[in-house]
Amino acid sequence: MIKDNEKLINRLRFIVDALAIIFSYIASWYVKFKSGIFADELWYYSLKQYCIALIYIVPGYLILYYIFQLYASKRLVGRREEAWHIIQANIIGLMAFILILYLLRENDYSRTMIFIFFCINVYTTVITRNIIRQGVRDLRKSGYNQKDILLIGYSRAAEEYIDRITMNPEWGYRVRGILDDHVESGISYRGVKVLGTIANLDIVLPRTHFDEIAITLSINEYSKLAKIVAMCEKSGVHTKFIPDYNKIIPTKPYTEDLNGLPVINIRKIPLSNDLNRFIKRAEDIFGAVVAIVLFSPIMLITAVLVKSTSKGPLIYKQERMGLNNKTFNMYKFRSMEVQDKNEEKEKWTVPNDPRVTAVGKIIRKTSIDELPQLFNVLIGKMSLVGPRPERPQFVSKFKEEIPRYMIKHQVRPGITGWAQVNGLRGDTSIYKRIEYDLYYIENWTLGLDFKILFLTFFKGFINKNAY
């Protein structure tokens, strides 16, 4: 039934995509030649003549969509990822279209219309697919088109898997039970019961219909893995493996093929690549220069207010740990009364801290005190985006308490970061912050940096946890 539903949904996508291509193509002709937006042309092909090309365009684009996996299962694929695949497919289609016209020496075919078609088709396809996606998700939330899953092994991985499925009913997954050798039958987690031991697999599979089996053994039971996989594959049910070492390896591990032997690299950091580092640095220099010019009036006003309302230096510098575990001086506008350095080192700011000045409360709350760090970015000690740097004494403490904490020092620290735009600033969980920092480090792209910078303007400047 599930497979039939998936086929029906994919056929619907296929038909809607074809209609979107035809609509976009015809609409682009009207925009180019009939809308009055573009200069009138003395002569051009009629709509009927242009539409002859649809015989090749429609199947060509649908093949491209298939190549870019736009007809694969969409349960776990996000909107942005799907939209990016649509853009990629249309870029290839646009280039192929222009190349074919060039090879055919077809000079009367409007290149402008082709570009308009590209824009309209991307927009129309993204919109229509999101409408279908939302409709399917609403059906799944209502209990339709569900995939029934059996878990083999009660472990931390099993609990985390159930947690995510429970929090995302739109995925359409339903865990029907767990088999485990060490937990008694009847014990449940979030309503999912242990049905029996792993030995019962041969009995459970023929009697109960499952769409998928997820192997969620605890790491100390991996000796059973080969036997369980053989049993699952014998049943013909789709089987997947959810490792119980996700705290050790990244979400997207880098694998190598060593003459048929799979090798998993424990950590892949995109910014260890020379080209990526160059792109990141160019982004930092350009962004810092633009930001300094843009925010110079605010910095000038802040400087006047800080100097005129309290005694002490304008700029406060504090030692922080940065790239490759090297310390550097991080700059801020001074927001506190001048205090003894040894006393200041030992404690964080607390609510209603008497050390914070009247101006300091405002600039800390709005993150204006962080603006001098743009100069840290210019000299290469920091980045616009990255994990926030911490003081050396706290680094010494956290590296003993928090697994993988020191990985954050393999990239430049940032003024803003993935943790900060997700609300993890000030007095928030350091464990959660490290989790978000590691996600950023392992999944860095230029697009992710732009997203964080964009979100900073809406989420990052006002800090409710600043005291």
User: Do both 155 and 116 map to the same domain?
Assistant: no
pLDDT tens-place values along the chain, 467 residues long: 444 566 777 788 899 999 999 999 999 999 998 887 887 777 788 889 889 999 999 999 999 999 988 887 656 667 788 888 999 999 999 999 999 988 888 888 888 899 999 999 999 999 999 998 888 888 777 777 788 899 999 998 899 899 988 888 877 888 989 999 988 888 889 889 998 898 888 888 777 778 889 999 988 888 888 888 888 877 778 888 888 876 667 666 777 777 778 787 777 788 888 899 999 999 999 999 999 999 999 999 999 998 888 888 889 888 999 998 899 999 999 888 777 665 555 555 655 666 778 888 888 888 888 999 999 999 999 999 999 999 998 898 888 888 788 889 999 999 999 998 888 776 677 888 888 998 899 889 888 999 899 888 876 565 555 54
Q: Which residues pair with 328 in a beta bridge?
A: 320
344-360 tens-digit pLDDT: 555 556 556 667 788 88
Q: Are residues 8 and 137 in the same domain?
A: yes
134 and 162 part of one domain: no
How many whole angstroms separate alpha carbon 417 and alpha carbon 403?
20
Q: Which among 123, 141, 159 is the end of a domain?
A: 141
pLDDT at 346: 54
Is 433 part of a structural domain of the chain?
yes
Cβ contact 87:65 at 8 Å: no
Residue recorded with tokens 């075919």 = 109
- pTM greater than the 0.75 cutoff: no
Last residue of a domain, one of 82, 112, 141: 141
| 173 and 135 co-located in one domain | no
- Burial bucket for residue 235 (CB in 10 Å: 0-12, 13-18, 19+): middle
**In this structure, are 137 and 151 located in the same domain?**
no
Residue 350 domain-assigned (yes or no): yes
User: Which residue type does 45 have?
Assistant: Y
Greatest pairwise CA separation for the chain in angstroms:
83
One domain for residues 437 and 306: yes
- At 384, phi and psi to the nearest 5? -60, -40
Residues 75, 49 share a domain = yes
Laid out side by side, the sheet with 212-215 consists of: 188-189, 192-196, 173-179, 147-152, 212-215, 238-241
Residue 262 lies in a domain: no
d(CA 271, CA 412): 10
Residues 359 and 216 in one domain: no
Same domain, 65 and 200: no
Residue 465 covered by a domain: no
> How far, rounded to the nearest angstrom, does the alpha carbon of residue 42 sit from its chain's CA centroid?
49
pLDDT one-digit tens code per residue, 137-159: 887 777 777 888 999 999 988 99
In a domain, 342, yes or no: yes
Choose among 206, 266, 264, 257: nearest CA to 231: 206
Q: Does residue 327 sit in the same domain as residue 180?
A: no
d(CA 97, CA 19): 19
Q: How many domains does the chain have?
A: 3
Contact 117, 28 (CB under 8 A): yes
For residue 152, give its domain range.
Answer: 147-246
Task: Return d(Cα 318, Cα 331) in angstroms, integer.
Answer: 7
* Token pair listed for 206: 């023929």
Residues 190 and 301 in one domain: no
- Does residue 85 lie in a domain region? yes
Whether 189 is covered by a domain: the verdict is yes
Rounded alpha-carbon distances, angstroms, from residue 445 to 33, 220, 269, 428, 439: 40, 35, 11, 26, 11
Residue 253 counted as domain residue: no
Q: Which of 107, 141, 175 is the endpoint of a domain?
A: 141
Give the separation between CA 174 and CA 145, rounded to whole angstroms.
10
Q: What is the CATH number of the domain that holds 183?
A: 3.40.50.720
Phi, psi values for residue 146, rounded to 5°:
-95, 145
- Is beta strand 238-241 parallel, antiparallel or unpaired with respect to 327-333? unpaired
- pLDDT attached to residue 464: 57
216 plus 297 within the same structural domain: no
3-state secondary structure labels for all residues of the chain: CHHHHHHHHHHHHHHHHHHHHHHHHHHHHHHHHCCCCCCCCCCCCCHHHHHCCHHHHHHHHHHHHHHCCCCCCCCCCCHHHHHHHHHHHHHHHHHHHHHHHHHCCCCCCCHHHHHHHHHHHHHHHHHHHHHHHHHHHHHHHCCCCCEEEEEECCCHHHHHHHHHHHHCHHHCEEEEEEECCCCCCCCEECCEEEEECHHHHHHHHHHCCCCEEEECCCHHHHHHHHHHHHHHHHHCCEEEECCCCCCCCCCCCEEEEECCEEEEECCCCHHHCHHHHHHHHHHHHHHHHHHHHHHHHHHHHHHHHHHHHCCCCCEEEEEEECHHHCEEEEEEECCECCCCHHHHHHCCCCCCCCCECHHHHHHHHCCHHHCCHHHHHHCCCCEEECCCCECHHHHHHHHHHCCCHHHHHHCCCEEECHHHHCCCCCCCCHHHHHHHHHHHHHCCCHHHHHHHHHHHHHHHCCCCCCC
* Residues contacting 257, CB < 8 A, separation 6+: 263
